[in-house]
């Protein structure tokens, strides 16, 4: 295989010549015989550049991912043009790595599937223009993918889950509860009215300056909160779960975020420290925040399960709740959801952590 022409950012304005060079770097006549259809999945909706090749039976033949987390941690959040530039710099290499790992040449692909929404417009654009150029050159079918639907269906790669099932997606950009009735048949039961739980955790972690904490400096906000919470006492702070009286399955996190912000300011005054220094009560705050959002998420999910069962939308005895997204890797939140599923005779399923967060496999 030839070395790729390393022209960073070529796919901002795709040129036929660049794509031709990209395709030429593969050996088109590998002599292998693939009995299954092969799909290349490409994901660039937020801050991960990811690609994978999956066959029609769900076998993952190869994957590659480039995470931008470290860069965005330093700037205190995702700056869309920065994310776009990093996608441009990495997409060609990531797609090539996924194809190489799978030992599949582009000509052997049956289709190219790419996230088209929802997400950051600048990020989505990089994956889309790269894919459309590839599709044009290879004369392959293009499959537009809804990022949330892909998250919801990923569990079917690892577990035999029949429709309908309930899905809870909780991450930095998403928060929704939906009934999955078929591959493209979703009933939205609830969503966040403002920000997503991961976004809130990231903001609280930034406000607590956890990046300066020696044990948390490379962790995402949510992971840092989970880590510190283990050392704290959740009872030292009393934050109320949001929307306790709302008779629906929606979520809200920005009111709680505001209350936590005010509490942090008050504690800084009490401890006589400046914003940017780490509070001695940071672990207690982390434990209370984690507990409060776990309660909120569990209560809204409980309502959704009861609603579906009352209306016979879910199986009475063997219903499945799938939980995915970066926040679903939080073991305390999982435990809270387990209490709900145990009480309602449901089965709780979570994809393995690497499939919970954004990846190319779910798109393929």
Which residues contact Zn ion (rule: CB under 5 A)?
358
Q: Rule CB under 6 A: is residue 154 a binding residue for ligand KG4?
A: no
User: Binding ligand KG4 by CB under 6 A: which of 327, 336, 340, 355?
Assistant: 327
CB of 178 to ligand KG4, least distance (A): 16
Q: Rule CB under 6 A: is residue 221 a binding residue for ligand KG4?
A: yes
- The site partner of 207 among Zn ion, ligand KG4, none (C-beta below 5 to 8 Å per kind) is none
Element (H, E) at 362: helix 360-363
Find residue 251's DSSP bridge partners. 192
Q: Rule CB under 6 A: is residue 357 a binding residue for ligand KG4?
A: yes
137: Cβ–Cβ under 8 A, 6 or more apart, which residues?
16, 19, 20, 23
CB of 354 to ligand KG4, least distance (A): 10
User: Binding ligand KG4 by CB under 6 A: which of 222, 232, 242, 351?
Assistant: 222
DSSP code per residue over 59-116: -EEEEEEEE-HHHHHHHTS--HHHHHHHHHHHHHHHHHHHHHHHT--GGG-SEEEEEE
Comparing CB distances to Zn ion, the nearer of 226 and 358 is: 358
Q: Are strands 48-55 and 38-43 parallel, antiparallel or unpaired?
A: antiparallel
Nearest of 251, 255, 259 to residue 170 by alpha carbon:
251
CB of 63 to Zn ion, least distance (A): 16
Q: Rule CB under 6 A: is residue 202 a binding residue for ligand KG4?
A: yes
CB of 116 to ligand KG4, least distance (A): 15
Nearest of 207, 216, 217, 202 to residue 266 by alpha carbon:
207
Comparing CB distances to ligand KG4, the nearer of 261 and 270 is: 261
Comparing CB distances to ligand KG4, the nearer of 26 and 253 is: 253
Question: If you search the block for the tokens 């309660």, which residue do you land on?
Answer: 295
Comparing CB distances to ligand KG4, the nearer of 64 and 104 is: 64
The rounded distance, in Å, linking the Cα atoms of 82 and 152 is 28
CB of 128 to ligand KG4, least distance (A): 17
User: Binding ligand KG4 by CB under 6 A: which of 296, 358, 361, 363?
Assistant: 358
CB of 152 to ligand KG4, least distance (A): 13
Q: Rule CB under 6 A: is residue 127 a binding residue for ligand KG4?
A: no
Classify 308 as helix, strand or coil. helix
306: Cβ–Cβ under 8 A, 6 or more apart, which residues?
344
Under a CB-based contact definition with an 8 Å cutoff, are residues 54 and 60 in contact?
Answer: yes
3-class SS letters over 233-302: CHHHCCCCCCCCCCCCCCECCHHHHHHHHHHHHHHHHHHCCCECECCCCHHHHHHHHHHHHHHHHHHHHH
Q: Rule CB under 6 A: is residue 173 a binding residue for ligand KG4?
A: yes
CB of 137 to ligand KG4, least distance (A): 30
Q: Are strands 48-55 and 60-67 parallel, antiparallel or unpaired?
A: antiparallel
Part in contact with ligand KG4 (CB under 6 A); list of ranges 120-128, 167-175, 178-186, 239-247:
167-175
Q: Rule CB under 6 A: is residue 172 a binding residue for ligand KG4?
A: yes
Comparing CB distances to ligand KG4, the nearer of 46 and 60 is: 46
CB of 219 to ligand KG4, least distance (A): 8
The rounded distance, in Å, linking the Cα atoms of 54 and 142 is 15
User: Binding ligand KG4 by CB under 6 A: which of 329, 337, 362, 364?
Assistant: 329
List contacts with ligand KG4 (CB under 6 A). Answer: 46, 171-174, 198-199, 201-202, 220-223, 226, 325-327, 329-330, 357-358
């Amino acid at each position: 295989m030839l070395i790729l022409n390393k022209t960073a950012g070529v796919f901002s304005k795709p040129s036929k010549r660049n794509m031709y060079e990209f395709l030429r770097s593969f050996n088109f006549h590998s002599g292998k015989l693939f009995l299954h259809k092969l799909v290349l999945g490409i994901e660039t909706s937020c801050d991960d550049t990811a690609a994978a090749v999956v066959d029609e039976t769900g076998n993952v033949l190869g994957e590659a991912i480039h995470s931008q987390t470290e860069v965005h941690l330093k700037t205190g959040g995702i700056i869309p043009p920065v994310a776009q530039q990093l996608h441009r710099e990495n997409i060609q290499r990531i797609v090539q790595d996924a194809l190489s790992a799978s030992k599949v040449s582009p000509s052997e692909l049956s289709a190219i599937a790419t996230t088209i929404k929802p997400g950051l417009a600048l990020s989505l654009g990089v994956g889309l223009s790269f894919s459309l150029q590839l599709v044009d050159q290879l004369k392959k079918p293009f499959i537009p993918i809804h990022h949330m639907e892909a998250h919801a269906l990923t569990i079917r790669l690892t577990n035999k889950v029949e429709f309908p099932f309930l899905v809870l997606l909780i991450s930095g950009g998403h928060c929704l509860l939906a009934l999955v009735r078929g591959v493209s048949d979703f009933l939205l039961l609830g969503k966040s009215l403002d920000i997503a739980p991961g976004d809130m955790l990231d903001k609280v972690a930034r406000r607590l300056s956890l990046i300066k904490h020696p044990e948390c400096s490379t962790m995402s906000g949510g992971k840092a909160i989970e880590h510190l919470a283990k050392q704290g006492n959740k009872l030292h702070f009393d934050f109320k779960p949001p929307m306790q009286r709302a008779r629906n399955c929606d979520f809200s996190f920005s009111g709680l975020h505001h209350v936590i912000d005010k509490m942090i300011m008050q504690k800084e005054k009490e401890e006589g420290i400046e914003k940017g220094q780490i509070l001695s009560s940071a672990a207690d705050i982390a434990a209370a925040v984690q507990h409060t959002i776990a309660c909120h998420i569990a209560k809204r999910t409980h309502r959704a399960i009861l609603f579906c069962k009352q209306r016979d939308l879910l199986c009475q005895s063997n219903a499945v709740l799938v939980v995915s997204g970066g926040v679903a890797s939080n073991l305390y939140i999982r435990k809270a959801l387990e209490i709900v599923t145990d009480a309602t005779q449901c089965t709780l399923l979570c994809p393995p952590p690497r499939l919970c967060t954004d990846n190319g496999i779910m798109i393929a």
